[in-house]
Amino acid sequence: MSPPKGSLLDVVSLFGVSRANRIARQRLREFYINVAPWYASDDLCNDPAVFIGGCGRSGTTLLREMLNRHPAIACGPETAFLCDLINPRRIAVEWELDPSRVERMAKDAPSLISFCERFFRAHAEREKKPRWADKTPRNVRALPKILSAFPYGKFIHCVRDGRDVACSLRNHPRETVRHGKVVAARVNRPIRNGAMRWFHDTSAGMAFLAHPRCLEVRYERLVTDTEAVLREVCTFIEEPFDERMLVATGTLSDASLRLMNNRNADQHVQQSSLSRWRRDMTLNERHDFHAVAGELLIALGYAKDATWIHEQATDVGRD
């Protein structure tokens, strides 16, 4: 007798044992952080924090670098504090901190929100800046928690053409910590997987588009009309625009390992990665993407209809 549709065996056969295991562990973590008292506490932080989120490969790191150059904003490496289990040792490696210090801070904090407040304030003090920010793409999945726990916080949702995102995600390396070091694990993801991630993460942010403490930033405008977008961002977060936000230093601002997967984020803005899908996607992959996320692509104005699937490939840059 064949197993019923939607059974565990169906899940494993569809995704494979390794990926099905990762999915199961992620779902378990999500359940835990929604019910465990330390994570699910209704504590509040009144800091005027700035949060950056969006589907990975949508310009979150680029915007983070620009925002961190502002004399009033300290934005360090990714944390995933608000959307995953706290891993003090990994955080210590990626932030170049003493692991025992991070573990002690987490142990002493009565709740996740209190821990975030203490951790990020300490970073801002080290940077001699009055205000902190957190850039983690998956923040977009925790928007309700962020907006309620940080009543004076602001959220910036980075959005990019999903076709380019899927192409970038295809071989984008995952980071993991091994023997106290951050190393890359090369992958080769199907376009359909990238389309699904873009669809779900972007939809999560779009649900809050009209919220007064949320701002949408399109990657395409950020790299083609940078100053205008950064002025809008500064108005949104109620800080004066500073010319230094436009000046790429060519050196990593802090914790060099955090840019392992985003080597060019601290360089001058480049437009070479726009419309890379025209060259990188095969006809079958275009059909796969459209089947998953084509209608959202149209809703966001990146395509008028499905005719883009058959547009001729062009020689464009690669990110």
User: What is the total count of domains within the chain?
Assistant: 1
Q: Is the pLDDT of residue 233 over 70?
A: yes
Reading the block at residue 8, the tokens are: 């565990």
Reading the block at residue 156, the tokens are: 């910036």
Q: Has this prediction a pTM greater than 0.85?
A: yes
Q: Is the pLDDT of residue 175 over 80?
A: no
Position 253 in a domain: no
Position 138 in a domain: yes
Which tops the pLDDT comparison, 16 or 285?
285
CA neighbor of 97 nearest in space, from 257, 261, 262, 265: 257
Buried b (16+ CB within 10 A) or exposed e, 30-63: eeebeeeebbeeeeebebbbbbbbbbbbbbbbbb
What pLDDT shows up at residue 272? Answer: 74
Q: How confident is the model at residue 176 (pLDDT cuts 50, 70, 90)?
A: low
Position 125 in a domain: yes
Measured distance CA(166)–CA(190) in Å, rounded = 9
Q: How confident is the model at residue 10 (pLDDT cuts 50, 70, 90)?
A: confident
What pLDDT shows up at residue 258? Answer: 47
Which CATH number fits the domain that encloses residue 183? 3.40.50.300
CA neighbor of 233 nearest in space, from 75, 14, 77, 98: 75
Reading the block at residue 24, the tokens are: 């199961």
Position 315 in a domain: no
Position 128 in a domain: yes
Position 201 in a domain: yes
178 - beta bridge partners? Answer: 181
CA neighbor of 177 nearest in space, from 90, 78, 80, 85: 90
**Per residue in 252-298, pLDDT tens?**
544 444 444 455 555 556 777 899 999 999 999 999 999 999 999 99
Domain hosting 294: range is 14-245+268-310
**Per residue in 142-167, pLDDT tens?**
999 999 999 999 999 999 999 999 99
Measured distance CA(97)–CA(264) in Å, rounded = 24
